[in-house]
Amino acid sequence: MYQVNDSVVYGTHGVCEVTAVGRLSMSVADRKKKYYTLRPVYQKDSLVYVPVDHIKLPMRLVLGKEEAEKLVEEIPSLETIWIVNEKERESQYKEAVRSGDCRELVRIIKTIYLHEKERMDKGKKVAAVDERYFHQAEELLYGELAYALGMEISQVGDYIAQKLGR
C-alpha cells in the first residue's frame, strides 16, 4: 500500500504524489472503500481518486535517480517494436503507454523516431497515430525522468543526448 507523500506513476496520468489515503465524502464515491488521492505533478490543479483495492491502471513508485540513469544508459540496447499493420501497432503502443513501463516507452519513442526519420528522408509524412503516441510516450517518460533526476522536463532530451554522446 502506498503512503501519503509517496511519488508514484499512475497510468497515463504520469508522476503523481499521494496526498491522502482514506474514505471519500463525495456522492460518487463508495464510502466503504479507501481511495488514494493523487495529485499529478505536472497538472497542479488536478486530482485523481483511485480505489485502493481496485486499481484499474498500473501504479508504481517513481524511478529513483540511479534507476533513471541506468535506463538512459540502456536506451541504445533497447529494441524497436515496429509493426507494419497500423491497427496492431496502435494496439501495441496503447498497451505500452497504459502500462507506464519506462522501457516500453523508450521503445515506442525510439521506434517512431527512427521510422519517422526514414519516412522524412523519402519525403513522406509521419502517420498521425505514430505522432500521437510518440508525444504521449515522450511526455510520460520525460516527466518521470525529470522528476527522478531533479531537472525540468525541457532538459531531459538534451540530458539523454549528452549521456549517449550525441
Domain that holds residue 45: 7-60
pLDDT of 25 reads: 82
Q: Are residues 35 and 54 in the same domain?
A: yes
pLDDT of 117 reads: 86
Q: Are residues 100 and 55 in the same domain?
A: no
Task: Identify whether 2 is part of a domain.
Answer: no
pLDDT (tens digit per residue) in 68-108: 999 999 999 999 988 888 889 899 999 999 888 999 999 99
pLDDT of 159 reads: 95
Asked if residues 110 and 78 have their Cβ atoms less than 8 Å apart, the reply is yes
Q: Are residues 117 and 35 in the same domain?
A: no
Mean pLDDT, all residues of the chain: 91
Q: Are residues 93 and 37 in the same domain?
A: no
pLDDT of 27 reads: 76
pLDDT of 162 reads: 92
Region 137-148: what's the mean pLDDT? Answer: 97
pTM of the model as a whole: 0.89
pLDDT of 83 reads: 86
Q: Are residues 94 and 24 in the same domain?
A: no
Task: Identify whether 54 is part of a domain.
Answer: yes
Q: Which of 131, 130, 141 is nearest to 83 (CA)?
A: 130
Rounded Cα distance between 17 and 128, Å, is 32
State the CATH number of the domain containing residue 98.
Answer: 1.20.58.1290
Mean pLDDT check: name the lowest of 48-57, 86-95, 105-114. 48-57
pLDDT of 26 reads: 82
Q: Are residues 38 and 78 in the same domain?
A: no
Q: Residue 45's beta-bridge partner residues?
A: none
Dihedral sign for Cα atoms in the order 42, 108, 134, 121: positive
